[in-house]
Amino acid sequence: MKVVLEHLTKIFPSRNKKEKNAEVVAVNDFNLEIPDGKLIGLLGPSGCGKSTTLYMISGLQPPTSGKIYFGEDDVTELAAENRGIGLVFQNYALYPHMTVQQNILFPLQNLKGENRLSKEEMLARANEAAKLVQIDEYMNRKPSELSGGQQQRVAIARALVKMPRVLLLDEPLSNLDARLRLQTREEIRRIQRDTGITTIFVTHDQEEAMSISDYIVVMKLGVIMQTGKPQWVYDDPANLFVAKFLGTPPINVFRGRIEGEKLYIGEEAVFETKGAEDQEVYVGIRPEGFVLDERGGLTCSVSGIDVMGRDVSVVSTNENSLNPVIRSIVSADEAGKVSAVGDVKFRLKENKVFIFNKETEARVYFGAQVAAHEAMLSAMKAEGEFYAFHEGPLPREADDASKQTQPEEKKGFTVSVKNFFGKIGAAFRKQPETPAENATAEDTPAESAENAAESADDATQTESEDKE
Amino acid sequence: MKEQEKDFVEETPAAVEGTPLTEAEQAEQDLREKRRKRNAIKARLRNLKGWVYLLPALVLLAAFTLWPIINTLRIAFLNGYNGLAEVGGATFAFGFQNFVNVVNFPDFLVCLRNTLLLTVITVPISTMLALLIAVALNSIKWLKKVYQTIFFLPYVTNAIAIGMVFNAMFGEVLINGTPLSIGIINSILGVFGIEPINWINVGSSTFNNMVVLIIYIVWNALPFKILVLLGGLQNVDKQYYDAAKVDGASRWRVFWRVTVPLLSPMITYVVITGFIGGFKEYTSVVGIFGDSMGAPAAPGSMNTMVGLIYDCIAKNNGGLAAAAALILFLIILVATIINLYVSKKKTHY
């Protein structure tokens, strides 16, 4: 079942009645078409509205505006129980007093009228679902007698047993330990493939999303940053946020500039950037994009060498780096050449270096990347057009929040001040009075910054509360 | 410290084998013996300290809880016991005469019937009502606190005062023996075309008396139960309800399959304490009917087991009172055991 989200917006009203404008935009004009039968990962830092999006698809939370379609049906006004969705909660929400079998049977027993199955059919369906998630030998146990992974599978079986049109999973792996997490994510992948049900899951763990999703949707502050196959998004991030969010160890970001089609980090010219205009930029370099080379353009001072299994990473610093340390993964043989102290020179792999405009944080394509990007776009179109990225200015926490929190009563204050000045200055001024909003901007910037921070806090709080 | 303890636990191999000890071994053993004694004294002192701390509570408990219990047991089995006579130096024979007398007491069966009826009827009614009200309170937001306060009022109001108000509501208001009004309940019933009912006045039936008493007890028992159940409800994870909603469960099914089982520990608690409280019902009868324990002209018709015990004490017949108290204790014990047995099967912890 195809799922289409059209201009989906969710605004949480402010809890404090005095601050009328302190509402939180959890999901902001969200447009997405999720293809049938795929596994989609909604990915973003906490507070980015991904769970809210999931709950809006489930019907447990009504959207403030926008439409949700399952296939051709508009389900926006439909109650959760009539949408035909299966939802797996973060804490599974298995009924503790029922056995595994009773838990799985519960949704079937709720069916009414002609949809109601006979007892034998119900049991058969429950068994089928239990077999699918390999939990059939524990049918008579209570949830408390199962491990976390088994509980998780019971929850999935309960969601699957009514044959949902869409399966939704809220942070499905966050309550499992590391080993079980690996195992369970493969399991989820397998179950999704076996059933072919369109599945949407939410996670803040990029590795999790990258490893099992057919497509990922990277979100920030309720806005889609980029969508696409995990590898595409990793190889071709649309903006600095996406580049920073994907990949472990994280991408190394440097301050730099483009001058005369050359990329400078500090005073060093790193390489040529054909076709890029002169501008201040951020340079993102994936850890695997560094090559040790005496003639390389980037000089860093080594502070240590980390050996993590088969990877060796050189830890170094550079005054233009935004990260406290630079991590570069090199082959073990090469790492031997690096002395533990002193400078090291790197050559950079051009396809692992992403340049972003300093103002907009949007990607600046150069040289071979332009063609590579074009090729990828056409490949994506051929595969089903599931690709989008945010265009225009990116949402920023501070900007967003201050816009939300221009307090109502303050406006009153400025208006009265304006009237005061207006009366005094009326004689001197000839042009019409500027609207009150302009005055607000001048008015105590420190305070509005404080408000901004507060409402940002608020946003995360609301999000976490929703999960609870 | 630990090492020392180890020392005296360990037995010296020489002593076990029974071979003669060398001087050094003897000295070592003496030292061990000394140490052991010192440790034992220390441990005893430590113990003593604990007892000293407990003493005030123990004395009070012994004087006002333990001794009365033992004394009741003793008195119950002394034929024809009389407190005053005992002080005078009389002795009583051991036997079951008191129990025989209590059972043959003319009021005994009435008291037993009233007590059992009141308990068996009011506990289920008040528990169910409390559950419904708690669920309702839990799902409203507006005026929640106000309603909570209203439902909680009986808990903090004097039982005798409530009884008198009930008396005024159900009974005729008499001035100098002439009825002035038929009471507010009958007035309200009159609006619906129901003839005034003689609830508690002269000539009222036992059934009518019982109805009034049951209404009183149920209403009076609600606040505590609502409080406990509401507390339980607030601890239920909201996600269960979300899950049930997604699964398409009707409200009714959610209530019976999710809310009630998750609340079952609280319900068990409320039912057991309700039964115990019901068997001890007394003040409600006094409140409504006064110390005649029944409608005028039918004194004692609404008496309960506890009322019977008080009557015996009033007549300075301690032996009978003790025997009646023991019988009541046995009834409560049996009821509680049955309750626990049933709830073990039905309660999910």
A307-355 pLDDT per residue, tens: 776 778 888 888 888 888 888 888 777 766 776 667 888 888 888 889 9
Distance from CA of B261 to the nearest CA of A (A): 7
Q: What is the pLDDT of residue B60?
A: 95
Q: Where are the alpha helices (DSSP H) in chain B?
A: 2-9, 13-17, 23-61, 67-76, 83-87, 97-104, 108-139, 144-156, 159-170, 184-191, 206-234, 238-246, 251-253, 260-279, 283-289, 305-314, 318-346
Chain position carrying tokens 């999790």 = A208
Kindly identify which residue of chain A lies nearest to residue B259, measuring between CA atoms: A95
The full 3-state SS of B255-302, as one line of letters, equals HHHHHHHHHHHHHHHHHHHHHHHHHCCCHHHHHHHHHHCCCCCCCCCC
Query: Is-contact B185 B219, C-beta < 8 A?
Result: no
Closest CA to B92 of B78, B76, B106: B78
Q: What is the mean pLDDT of residues A96-106?
A: 92
Residue B242 to residue A110, Cβ atoms within 8 A: no
Query: Which residue in B237, B246, B250 is closest to A58 by CB distance?
Result: B246
* pLDDT (tens digit per residue) in A212-245: 888 899 988 888 888 888 888 888 888 899 999 9
Flag whether B85 is in a domain.
no
Residue B248 to residue A111, Cβ atoms within 8 A: yes
Coil, helix or strand for B209? helix
The full 3-state SS of chain A, as one line of letters, equals CCEEEEEEEEEECCCCCCCCCCCEEEEEEEEEEECCCCEEEEECCCCCCHHHHHHHHHCCCCCCEEEEEECCEECCCCCHHHCCEEEECCCCCCCCCCCHHHHHHHHHHCCCHHHCCCHHHHHHHHHHHHHHCCCHHHCCCCHHHCCHHHHHHHHHHHHHCCCCCEEEEECCCCCCCHHHHHHHHHHHHHHHHHHCCEEEEEECCHHHHHHHCCEEEEEECCEEEEEECHHHHHHCCCEHHHHHHCCCCCCEEEEEEEECCEEEECCEEEEECCCCCCEEEEEEECHHHEEECCCCCEEEEEEEEEEECCEEEEEEECCCECCCCEEEEECHHHHCCCCCCCEEEEEECHHHEEEEECCCCEEECCCHHHHHHHHHHHHHHHHCCCCEECCCCCCCHHHHHHHHCCCHHHHHHHHHHHHHHHHHHCCCCCCCCCCHHHHHHHCCHHHHHHHHHHHHHHHHHHHHHHHC
Geometric angle at alpha carbon B271, from B266 and B276, rounded to 5°: 130
Residue B250 to residue A110, Cβ atoms within 8 A: yes
Note whether B273 and B144 are same-domain residues.
yes
Residue A377 touches chain B, beta carbons under 8 Å: no
Flag whether B92 is in a domain.
no
Residue A59 touches chain B, beta carbons under 8 Å: yes
CB < 8 Å from B in window 103-162 of A: 106-107, 109-111, 158, 162
For the ranges A126-130, A423-427, B107-111, B217-221, the lowest mean pLDDT is seen at A423-427
Is the pLDDT confidence value at A369 over 80?
A: yes
Nearest-angstrom CA–CA distance, A210 and A216:
7
How much is the pTM? 0.71
pLDDT tier for residue A390 given thresholds of 50, 70 and 90? low
Q: What is the mean pLDDT of residues A112-135?
A: 86
Coil, helix or strand for B180? strand
Query: Which residue in B243, B249, B264 is closest to A89 by CB distance?
Result: B243
**Contact residues on chain A for B267, CB-CB shorter than 8 A:** none
Kindly identify which residue of chain B lies nearest to residue A110, measuring between CA atoms: B249
Q: What is the pLDDT of residue A364?
A: 86
Query: Which residue in A86, A89, A106 is closest to B239 by CB distance?
Result: A89
Q: What is the pLDDT of residue A31?
A: 85
Please state the domain count of chain B: 2
Coil, helix or strand for B240? helix
Q: What is the pLDDT of residue A102?
A: 92
Q: Which residues of chain B have a Cβ shorter than 8 Å from any chain A Cβ?
A: 237-240, 242-250, 253, 257-258, 261-262, 264, 348
Note whether B254 and B202 are same-domain residues.
yes
DSSP bridge partners of A169: A88, A201
A–B interface: beta-carbon pairs under 8 A = 61
Closest CA to A46 of A198, A170, A194: A170
The DSSP code sequence of B43-55 is: HHHHHHHHHHHHH
Q: What is the pLDDT of residue B118?
A: 93
- Chain B interface test: which of A52, A56, A60, A154 (most B C-beta within 10 Å): A60
Query: Which residue in B237, B248, B249 is closest to A93 by CB distance?
Result: B237
Note whether B146 and B287 are same-domain residues.
yes
**Contact residues on chain B for A95, CB-CB shorter than 8 A:** 240, 243, 257-258, 261-262
Cα torsion A140, A142, A144, A148 to 10°: value is 50
Q: At how many degrees (to 10) do helices B108-139 and B97-104 cross?
A: 80
Q: What is the pLDDT of residue B214?
A: 94
Q: What is the pLDDT of residue A17?
A: 64
CA distances to A55, A299, A358, B275 from B123, in Å: 42, 83, 73, 6
Is the pLDDT confidence value at A440 over 70?
A: no
Q: Which residue has the higher pLDDT, A444 or B35?
A: B35
Note whether B238 and B187 are same-domain residues.
yes
Give residue limits of the domains in chain A: 3-235, 249-383, 397-467
**Contact residues on chain A for B246, CB-CB shorter than 8 A:** 58-60, 80-81, 85-87
Q: What is the pLDDT of residue A11?
A: 87
pLDDT tier for residue A392 given thresholds of 50, 70 and 90? low
Distance from CA of A95 to the nearest CA of B (A): 7
Note whether B113 and B31 are same-domain residues.
no
Flag whether B17 is in a domain.
yes
Percent above pLDDT 70 for chain A: 78
Note whether B292 and B175 are same-domain residues.
yes
Residue B253 to residue A110, Cβ atoms within 8 A: yes
* pLDDT (tens digit per residue) in A149-174: 889 889 989 998 988 989 999 988 88
Contacts of B12 (CB under 8 A, 6+ apart): B25, B28, B29, B32
Note whether B126 and B267 are same-domain residues.
yes
Note whether B62 and B10 are same-domain residues.
yes
Which of residues B76, B105, B129 is at a domain's end? B76
**Contact residues on chain B for A80, CB-CB shorter than 8 A:** 242, 245-246
**Contact residues on chain A for B263, CB-CB shorter than 8 A:** none
For residue B174, what is the enclosing H or E element?
A: strand B173-175
Flag whether B89 is in a domain.
no
**Contact residues on chain A for B254, CB-CB shorter than 8 A:** none
Distance from CA of B35 to the nearest CA of A (A): 50
DSSP letter, residue B16:
H
**Contact residues on chain B for A82, CB-CB shorter than 8 A:** 248
Nearest-angstrom CA–CA distance, B208 and B2:
73
Kindly identify which residue of chain B lies nearest to residue A55, measuring between CA atoms: B242
Is the pLDDT confidence value at A463 over 70?
A: no
Note whether B294 and B184 are same-domain residues.
yes
Identify the CATH number of the domain in which residue B315 sits.
Answer: 1.10.3720.10
Query: Which residue in A85, A97, A162 is closest to B262 by CB distance?
Result: A97
Flag whether B83 is in a domain.
no
Kindly identify which residue of chain A lies nearest to residue B348, measuring between CA atoms: A97
CATH architecture of the domain covering A3-235? 3-Layer(aba) Sandwich (3.40)
Q: At how many degrees (to 10) do helices A119-132 and A178-195 cross?
A: 130
Flag whether B234 is in a domain.
yes
Note whether B193 and B134 are same-domain residues.
yes
Query: Which residue in A81, A98, A109 is closest to B246 by CB distance?
Result: A81
Chain position carrying tokens 């038929």 = B182
Distance from CA of A158 to the nearest CA of B (A): 9
Q: What is the pLDDT of residue B309?
A: 92
Contacts of B247 (CB under 8 A, 6+ apart): A81, A106, A107, A110, A158, A162
* pLDDT (tens digit per residue) in A356-367: 988 888 888 888
DSSP bridge partners of A10: A27
Query: Which residue in B243, B245, B261 is closest to A97 by CB distance?
Result: B261
Task: Please give the mean pLDDT across all residues of chain A.
Answer: 78
Contacts of A90 (CB under 8 A, 6+ apart): A170, A171, A172, A174, A175, A467
Residue B250 to residue A89, Cβ atoms within 8 A: no
Provide long-range contacts, Cβ within 8 A and 24+ apart, for A333-339: A334/A292, A335/A292, A335/A305, A337/A292, A338/A292, A338/A302, A338/A305, A338/A314, A339/A302
Give chain B's residues under pLDDT 50. Answer: 1-16
Q: What is the pLDDT of residue A253?
A: 92
ipTM over 0.90: no
Chain position carrying tokens 């524990």 = A138
- Chain B interface test: which of A60, A97, A465 (most B C-beta within 10 Å): A97
DSSP letter, residue B94:
B
Flag whether B244 is in a domain.
yes
Q: What is the pLDDT of residue B163?
A: 87
Is the pLDDT confidence value at A406 over 80?
A: no
Flag whether B305 is in a domain.
yes
Range of the domain at B105: 97-346
Residue A65 touches chain B, beta carbons under 8 Å: no
**Contact residues on chain A for B239, CB-CB shorter than 8 A:** 89, 91, 93
Peptide bond before residue B68 is cis, with ω within 30 degrees of 0: no
Note whether B201 and B68 are same-domain residues.
no
Q: What is the mean pLDDT of residues A77-87?
A: 88
Note whether B15 and B137 are same-domain residues.
no
Residue A81 to residue B247, Cβ atoms within 8 A: yes
Structure tokens, B276: 């115990």
Contacts of B17 (CB under 8 A, 6+ apart): none
